[in-house]
Amino acid sequence: MKIGIGGHIFQMPPLGYGGVERVAAWWCDELKRRGHYVRIFGHPGSTAAHDALVPVYASSDYDQFGPAYRQHGLGLDVIHHNSDAMPSEAMWTTSPHGSHRPFVHTVHACVWHRRVPCPVFLSANQARWFGYGPNAPVIVHNGFPIDRFAVETEKEGFYLWCGSLRGSKAPDMAVQLAEETGAALIIIGPIQDGKYADYPERFPRGRGRIQYLGEMGDERLHYFRKAKALLYTCAPEWMEGMCLVLCEAMLSGTPVIGLVTPNNTIVSEIVSEGGLACESYDAMRDAIQTDRAASFSPDACRANGERFSIARAVDQYLELYEAVMRGDRW
């Protein structure tokens, strides 16, 4: 099968932060491993496995992928789009004067997708946010190359918070939890909100009970393996598509202590036997004070994380590709 993978902003895989690009790179690697032809549409620095790369630069143009798909999409069996920017080519499958080229769009963010044919959601949590009931059109949980994750049974005494530092992710909640419980906390991620610009000085690396280590690439996995637990926090209005760090923690043998809100039930959906779904800040604080993380074995966390393998995800996407090639639309 000849497959075009449309990227997002950063290169695939990203050097630092970039969840969409990391997931898309894993798809490319697995598709190539199975012998499929892969053409990447994305950042020119992308090193994920591919047969051809069509440079698409991040810009303010909402149709930045349209010209690339028009010029370099010929001969492909299917295009799998992953950017928030909706290319004009997405209308091909519905326009009476357009092409009927198979097109699949994975909805990674909280972006309105109604104009786009064949949307794929990352979770039931995300599909519900878009107004679907329990029978959403298509849900495919992200998949992970589980062999790249190692389990460390000897944990250190710190909790981990990892993600982009912005209001929707509420890193200040994790800081408050650490301050109120006396727990050690390591924070990893890019600062994307000026509200947290003082974290490097406020929580310097190598000093103090709470430390901010900055943005990291794969080196962050060392801290996933060593952490007592991953703390997942969010603002009340936030909805998470899936959240890579939940699975990365479990695959590293580390449990999750995560917040569930009426608007965001992703921890309940994904974590299952790999941690605690807490319905309030107080419940998270109690879990830390009573050391609930110690009740989860690294092997049990790993087993729960292995449910989200890249092999399983690609199996599902190949079925979707074949369906749209037959003319199915949803």
**Mean pLDDT score, 110-134:** 80
Instruction: State how far the Cα of 277 lies from the Cα of 175, in Å rounded to an integer.
Output: 19
- Mean pLDDT, rounded, for 236-265: 96
Q: Is 92's pLDDT higher than 90?
A: no
pTM: 0.92
DSSP 161-182: EES-BSGGG-HHHHHHHHHHHT
> pLDDT-derived band of residue 89, with 50, 70 and 90 as boundaries?
low
Share of the chain above pLDDT 90, in %: 75
* Measured distance CA(240)–CA(109) in Å, rounded: 8
The mean pLDDT of the chain is 91
More confident residue, 245 or 90: 245
Averaged pLDDT, 183-206: 97
Say what the pLDDT of residue 115 is: 62
pLDDT > 90? residue 228: yes
Percent share of the chain, pLDDT over 70: 91
**Is the model's pLDDT at 97 over the cut of 50?**
no
Res 112: pLDDT: 60
SS3 content of the chain, % helix, strand, coil (to 5): 35, 20, 45
User: Please, what is the Cα angle at 135 between 84 and 301, to 5 degrees?
Assistant: 75
User: From CA 239, how far away is CA 236, in angstroms rounded?
Assistant: 8
Whole-angstrom Cα distance, residue 41 to residue 73? Answer: 9
What is the DSSP pairing of strand 103-107 with strand 184-188? Answer: unpaired
How far apart, in whole angstroms, are the C-alpha atoms of residue 242 and residue 226? Answer: 23
**Token pair listed for 269:** 């959906």
| pLDDT of res. 67 | 83
CA atoms within 13 A on the CB side of 100: 7
Best mean pLDDT range from 14-18, 80-84, 176-180: 176-180
Say if domain 146-305 classifies as CATH 3.40.50.2000. yes
Question: pLDDT value at position 73?
Answer: 87
Of 83-97, 111-125, 135-149, the least confident: 83-97
Comparing CA positions, the residue from 98, 17, 16, 31 lying closest to residue 310 is: 31
Chain mean position to CA 52: 25
- Reported confidence tier of residue 61, pLDDT bands at 50, 70, 90: low
Lowest mean pLDDT among 64-68, 203-207, 254-258, 319-323: 64-68
Domain boundaries along the sequence of the chain: 2-144+309-325, 146-305
Helix (H) or strand (E) holding 220: helix 220-226
pLDDT score of 91: 52
What span, in angstroms and rounded, lies between the C-alpha atoms of 2 and 51?
10
Give the CATH number of domain 2-144+309-325.
3.40.50.2000
Q: What is the pLDDT of residue 322?
A: 96
pLDDT score at 96: 47
Say whether pLDDT at 177 is over 60.
Answer: yes
Question: Which comes out higher in pLDDT, residue 211 or 132?
Answer: 211
